[in-house]
Structure 1
Amino acid sequence: MRIALVLVVALLASLAVLDWMAPDAESRRDSAAMPLESGAGDPGAGAQLFEAECIQCHGADLKGTQEGPPLIHPYYRPDHHADLAFYMAIRDGVVQHHWNFGDMPPVPVIDRDQARDIVTFIRQAQREAGLLDDTGDVAAQ
């Protein structure tokens, strides 16, 4: 019984130290290159960044190429791939899962604000293609 009590106390003390050492949520978002707040980025800037960094795989019309999948596709609507999935793909890359193009590598030259612009551009293009309604919700099919 005494050993169990010592182990429980040691575990609780360890958890307290880990909690004290853990960064707060804002610091975690900063280090993860995630957006600090939700909201629209600049779709014009996103289009320019997309052209510079993404077009070779995802295509000028966002309908994909021989190198990468289409982003104008129901798989990439917010109900299947939330904005966070795009941020994480840019930051970390993606293991192939819907398509057979191979893994997507990370894109380290794009920071979180630029990623927000790219996501805004993609969502705007999806809206224009009829995948999303004017509010950004999934359009009725």
Structure 2
Amino acid sequence: MNRRNLVIACVLLVAAVLFYRGFGAQDQPVTGAALVNVIVPELSGTAKEGEALFNRSCASCHGTNAAGQDGVAPPLVHKIYEPGHHGDASFLIAARNGVRAHHWPFGNMPPVEGTTDTEIEKITVYVRELQRANGIH
């Protein structure tokens, strides 16, 4: 291959990459967007502690204020997680052991490393207060 053909091939390759990034990538689903709108109430002291712990250990997947993230993880402020269907113990068990995907297409949840049972209980208080403020009892 002569030098001229090599330069043309490189230019075409760069153009194809720029085209894909500029236009083709728009066909990809947007990920990370909140899945629900969450009303945040005045939180109790325990829930405020739980919020800080949630932000440290859970928000990277479940999003700000447990609103979920498109393509990442479900919202915890959702009727599926109401206390009558998923009791407080289910949050503790899921954080300790992880959980097999069964309600959402996000895949399995791994265990949450570095959280104590007391911390998970405070996170649960935070999530429950968010749920109640959003009509989930």
TM-score range, shorter chain: 0.5 to 0.7
2:75 counterpart letter in structure 1: P
Q: Percent identity?
A: 40
RMSD: 1.5
The 5 A counterparts of 1:1-141 are 42-65=46-69, 66-132=71-137
d(CA) in 2 for partners of 1:108, 1:130 = 31
Moved more, 40-49 or 72-81: 40-49
| Long gaps (5+) in structure 1 | 1-39, 133-141
Give the TM-score taking structure 2 as reference length.
Answer: 0.65
Deviating beyond 6 angstroms after TM superposition, the runs of 4 or more aligned structure 1 residues are none
Distance 1:41 1:106, change over 3 A: farther
Give the TM-score taking structure 1 as reference length.
Answer: 0.63
Give 3-state SS (helix, strand or coil) of 1:42's partner. helix
2:83 counterpart letter in structure 1: P
Q: Greater CA radius of gyration, 1 or 2?
A: 2
| Long gaps (5+) in structure 2 | 1-43
Spell out, residue by residue over 1:29-68, the C-alpha distance to the aligned partner (whole angstroms, 9 max, x if none): xxxxxxxxxxx98111110011011111111031210210
Count of residue pairs brought into register by the alignment: 93
